[in-house]
Amino acid sequence: MEFNIKSYLASKRELIDRKLDALLKYSPKSITPLEESIRYSALSGGKRLRPILTIASNEAFGGKEELALPIACAIEMIHAYSLIHDDLPCMDDDSLRRGVPTTHNVYGEAVAVLAGDALLTDAFNVVVREGLSSGLRPKVLTDIIGDISLAAGSKGMIKGQSIDLALEGIKNVSVEQVEKMHSLKTGTMIEIAVTTGAKIGGANEKQIKKLSTYAKSLGLAFQIVDDVLDIEGGKSIGKEVGADARNKKTTYPELVGLKKSKLKARALTKKALKALKDFDDRATPLREIAFYLVDRKF
């Protein structure tokens, strides 16, 4: 039977959304909008790329979905927090995210900061609580906590964001600097989503290394496509076109042009697929996700 990537993505998104809805409790009697803003930020759509990659990577090793799902949702919570803070006036000052007004435009900057802080902190509670209750082995659980905290912190995603800010308005930025920024700001959490699922599924060190290559290539390709879409637009871009130019950000298309950017994204996709050549048909979703992402809008 032919694999249908759109059906696969839709079914996994629905699964993830149901779990996130259950994890992010809401009390309508609360005197603060914190819980409401958290749910607004985390449940207002999105591709769910990172948690889907976690689940798909776990499937590649025959892992149990019930073990991977809550951890995948925790990774999505961290991603949602990063978007809230990335959109703030002191960062990118975006007014749209996932096709709806950004959190700070709906609830104010102070609540948006708190919602982001809460999502990041609560994500680790989910990893520990849900991981232990679902029977995840302690060694795997501690490895995952270390991996995620490193990827999300000052050596990973946060450092990438700081480089992004530092490069704004600077002339003569190199391709290598932009790649470094993307690999940290976007790539680290994509990589950790993939390796986390693999570890839950029982992958060995050699397999983890190959999946890291896959994820690093995929992460950079994904961001280059986003840079292209910021210029060309697309039906489901979900944010303002031209935001990078307004914020004086140096992007891949600006440095090498749209044509070369698209060729680079495709070359990275080929590299990602090559890293999976020794994996069996259980890795088909990972392969198809790579194809889908590079062709999603151009």
**SS3 string of the chain?**
CCCCHHHHHHHHHHHHHHHHHHHCCCCCCCCCCHHHHHHHHHHCCCCCHHHHHHHHHHHCCCCCHHHHHHHHHHHHHHHHHHHHHHHCCCCCCCCEECCEECHHHHHCHHHHHHHHHHHHHHHHHHHHHHHHHCCCCHHHHHHHHHHHHHHHCCCCHHHHHHHHHHHCCCCCCCHHHHHHHHHHHHHHHHHHHHHHHHHHHCCCHHHHHHHHHHHHHHHHHHHHHHHHHHHHCCCCCCCCCCHHHHCCCCCHHHHHCHHHHHHHHHHHHHHHHHCCCCCCHHHHHHHHHHHHHHCCCC
- Higher-pLDDT residue of 242, 41: 41
User: Tell me, what's the pLDDT at 240?
Assistant: 54
Q: State the Cα–Cα distance between residues 181 and 202, nearest whole angstrom.
A: 31
pLDDT of residue 294: 83
Whether the pLDDT of residue 205 is over 70: the answer is yes
Tell me which of 1-15, 51-65, 185-199 is least confident.
1-15
Residue 97 has a pLDDT of 86
pLDDT at 298: 43
Contact of 215 with 199, CB cutoff 8 Å: no
Residue 132: pLDDT above 60? yes
Residue bearing the bigger pLDDT, 93 or 122: 122
Residue tagged 């951890």 (tokens): 71
- Please state the length of the chain: 298
The predicted model scores a pTM of: 0.92
Answer whether residue 296 shows pLDDT above 90: no
pLDDT in tens, 210-257: 999 999 999 999 999 988 888 876 555 555 555 555 556 678 888 889
Delineate the domains of the chain, giving CATH numbers in brackets.
Answer: 5-294 (1.10.600.10)
Round the average pLDDT of the chain to a whole number and report it: 91
Average pLDDT over residues 134-159: 95
pLDDT, position 31:
85
For 68-96, how does the pLDDT look when each residue is reduced to its tens digit (9 = 90+)? 999 999 999 999 999 999 999 988 888 88
* % residues pLDDT > 90 (the chain): 74
The pLDDT value given to residue 248 = 60
Give yes or no for residue 297 having a pLDDT over 70: no
pLDDT of residue 247: 53
Q: What pLDDT is attached to residue 1? A: 65
Q: Residue range 138-158: average pLDDT?
A: 96
The residues with which 101 forms a beta bridge, in sequence order, are 96
Residue 266 class from Cβ within 10 Å (0-12 exposed, 13-18 middle, 19+ buried)?
middle
Q: How far apart are the C-alpha atoms of 30 and 34, rounded to whole Å?
A: 8
Of 247 and 114, the structure prediction assigns the larger pLDDT to 114
